[in-house]
């Protein structure tokens, strides 16, 4: 898995829209998915993920967690910090130079996301994101394009 050589967290912080994802148990039936990242006073990254269920109840599914940088482009994320084994890899495979789009994956190549600063992506950015996923061994036929309202 090829990750970015450098990740400027100060530019990565903020709100991201989930443009596409690979199926995972945590986001079953989720649409209008967003992720927000912010610095914490302890040096970790605050993570807030929200989604609507297909029923349309905004904000019902919201989870807060934290991430730690373990290497350039590689973070470890947990939503239950009191359980040391409940961490997941969050590897930034690509980020646009202007930090408008990012591709995130993990070492097994099973889960991954295309994130955008806007609810939609233009064709050129989408194609770059798909190429990154393919280059890292992902089967893009399994991607779910997340409805955003």
**Assigned token pair, 63:** 């989870």
> Which whole number is the average pLDDT over 141-149?
93
Q: Which secondary-structure segment (H or E) carries 132?
A: helix 123-135
Q: Express each pLDDT in 16-51 by its tens digit.
A: 999 999 998 888 889 999 999 999 999 999 999 999
What single string gives the DSSP state of each residue in 49-109?
Answer: EEEEETT--TTSEEEEEEEEEEETTEEEEES-TT-TT-EEEEEEEEE-TTSSEEEEE-TTS
**Residue predicted with more confidence, 28 or 108:** 108
Cβ-based neighbours of 11, under 8 Å, separated by 6 or more: 99
pLDDT value of residue 101: 99
Residue 58 has pLDDT above 80, yes or no: no
Amino acid 141: pLDDT = 97
Tell me what pLDDT residue 25 has.
Answer: 83
| Structural domains of the chain in order of their starting residue, each with its CATH number | 9-145 (2.40.128.20)
Mean pLDDT rounded to a whole number for the chain: 91
Q: What is the mean pLDDT of residues 60-83?
A: 84
Residue 57 has pLDDT above 60, yes or no: no
User: Is the model more confident about 55 or about 96?
Assistant: 96
pLDDT of residue 56 exceeding 70: no
Relative to beta strand 74-78, strand 61-71 is antiparallel
More confident call, 56 vs 84 = 84
Q: What is the pLDDT of residue 86?
A: 65
């Amino acid at each position: 898995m090829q990750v970015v050589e450098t990740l400027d967290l100060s530019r990565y912080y903020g709100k991201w829209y989930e443009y596409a994802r690979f199926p995972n148990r945590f986001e079953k039936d989720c649409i209008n998915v967003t992720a927000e990242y912010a610095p914490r006073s302890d040096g970790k990254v605050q993570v807030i993920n929200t989604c609507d269920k297909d029923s349309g109840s905004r904000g019902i599914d919201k989870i807060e967690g934290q991430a730690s940088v373990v290497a350039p482009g590689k973070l470890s994320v947990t939503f239950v910090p009191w359980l040391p084994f409940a961490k997941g890899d969050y590897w930034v495979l690509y980020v646009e130079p202007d930090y408008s789009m990012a591709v995130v994956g993990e070492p097994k190549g099973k889960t991954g996301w295309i994130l955008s600063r806007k609810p939609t992506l233009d064709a050129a950015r989408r194609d770059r994101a798909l190429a990154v996923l393919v280059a890292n061994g992902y089967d893009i036929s399994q991607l779910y394009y997340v409805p955003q309202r």
